[in-house]
Chain A
Amino acid sequence: MRSAFIEALTELAESDKRITLVVGDLGFGVVTDFARRFPSQFVNAGVSEQNMTGLAAGMALSGRIVFTYSIGNFSTLRCLEQIRNDVCYHKADVKIVAIGGGLAYGALGVSHYATEDIAVMRALPNMRVVAPGDPVEARLAVRAIAEEHGPAYLRLGRDKEPVVHHNLPGFFIGKAITVKPGGDITLIATGGMLYNTVKASEELSSMGIDARVLSMHTIEPLDREAVLSAAKETSAIFTVEEHSTVGGLGSAVADVLAEAGCVPERFVKLGLPPKFPDVVGDQEFLKSRYRLDVAGIVGRVLETLGIQGNAAVESAGTQITSS
């Protein structure tokens, strides 16, 4: 997604001189070419995210469209008040980009896990929150948030995310993409969880369970219509996110369901428990530990539906209890 992001931003920067990239001294090998090609549209703020965000607001209030860029929490939590007061309150045209959403920097430890960012960003007034599901969506998301004036948060993975969309999908802020139709249950994924969710739906399909898959690339504003349709047309909703189950996609969907008085028979939030991991490992290891791998998602679905004795369930169960 990182490459998709910088490629899309480079295209925009060529045709629109207002596009400006401000980095917090991160992006080795990613931003170098952009910096060389567009020196008047690039700033390295140094290791100072508060200043990075404040000066981005100042540049945006002077007519630029500014993207700030850093790893996970550095571009969000570290400078949260600058985002709230300087960017959101003034509706400044600043797009905050975080690389490594979720557990992408697995082995680097807790400091590098962006696992509460969606919850925090979606609570801010005037903020759009976008977590594209694959590199194709990431490219479209960059263009979409640049075209819409005002603050946005773009949560990206790293560079290993497989492509899900082999045809160009329609991409609109606030509109879910139906990746696979289905009438039994609905799996709503955000960010890099889309791929595993699609794979899980394929396994479920082979077991006779027809799962609808939605790519909920925009968490704020949430596509209420898609959520409520899923609640009416299918018997269970599972939200899938590489993020804490507190305040993220699952919570946003739950809000919509509860407020509409339209709760499906089953509603389950698949995500990370709100506690710090006690073991280290790469992203795939950690995902399987938290049952966000394909087997884990399939297992959680089958358990919820009361279907037992499946190999996938046993496999996932082993992984989660083996610590």
Chain B
Amino acid sequence: MDLREIVVGEEIAKAVSEADVARIEELALRLRRHCVMMTHRARSSHIGSCFSAVELLAVLYTQVLRVNPNWPDWPDRDRFIMSKGHAAAALYATLAEVGFFPVERLKAFCQNGSNMPGHATHSAVPGVEISTGSLGHGLSVGVGMALAAKRDGKGYRVFVMLSDGECDEGSTWEAALFAPHHKLDNLIAIVDYNKIQSLGMVKEVLDLDPLAEKWKAFGWAVREVEGHDVHALIDVFSALPFETGKPSCVIAHTVKGKGVSFMENKLLWHYRSPQGEELERALAELVNGKKPVL
């Protein structure tokens, strides 16, 4: 079996065409529709946190990660850890869309008796690297995987997606201190910086700015990117590692609730699930070929 034929994300060396970008944008749209329906059926929270991460996930799983949907435990796979486990709907939807399991299974999300909880869970579906949900765990586990790879001479990389609220956790910074000391340039932290955390604006709850400077001061090679711009995301991830001998940090400036006009930048949509007229309006805005009304 020639892995290169079936491995997702081997296209990075090629020039990315406009058609590829359009394909990824369409995938992002489908992911948002899945998230709407999943949180609607489950009456669950966190759709806003899913929406901010959608383009990141779409680009990672089609252009960046060396993973194999037909062989989820492939030992040399790149590891992706959804440390912001509350965006599980977006992760499950992405894994389904790229072929880890049938899209139909997304209907089980948070349903009584199913095995697919509202926070990323390794036993829920194939392709979830580790279970998360309590913030501040993913980067340490990623550090361990990256360190093991270095010491065992393995070529895989470890990607960890963090929320901005998660950067309040001391454990995140314990891991952030450790990774550069051990020169883990196979480790990539991605901060989904949507500027809203659980009880308000990040700036008002516990200000992170200047966030890039904080990661730089800890020894990371940092790049900032517009987190919904597919072109820009592909460019950034094609430059990994940003510096040899340093872990890379991508600070993705995103919009909470991105893609549905009445959800964007609204704290309410950290919690609310779309029902009734809101469901219809949300789906109406997430239609192929149309830009969301802003």
Contact = CB atoms under 8 A, between A and B. Distances in A.
Contacts of B177: 46, 48, 51
A59 B178 CA distance: 14
B141 A50 contact: no
A59 B148 contact: yes
Contacts of B209: none
A286 B171 CA distance: 35
A172 interface: no
A53 B152 CA distance: 20
Nearest to B140: A54
A310 interface: no
Contacts, number: 88
Interface string B140-164: 1111111111011000000000000
B275 interface: no
B130 A61 contact: yes
A63 interface: yes
B134 interface: yes
A51 B148 contact: no
Chain A's interface size range is: 20 to 34
A50 B148 contact: no
Given A51-B175, A58-B142, A90-B122, A43 B147 contact: yes
Interface residues of B, number: 27
Contact of B171 (A50, A59, A61, A63): A50
Contacts of A45: 178
Contacts of A48: 171, 174, 177-178
A241 interface: no
Nearest to B181: A46
A33 interface: no
Interface of B: 122, 130-134, 136-137, 139-149, 151-152, 170-171, 174-175, 177-178
Given A45-B178, A50-B136, 20 more contacts: A46-B174, A46-B178, A48-B171, A51-B143, A51-B171, A51-B178, A54-B137, A54-B143, A55-B147, A55-B175, A56-B144, A57-B130, A57-B144, A58-B141, A58-B142, A62-B152, A64-B148, A82-B137, A85-B134, A86-B130
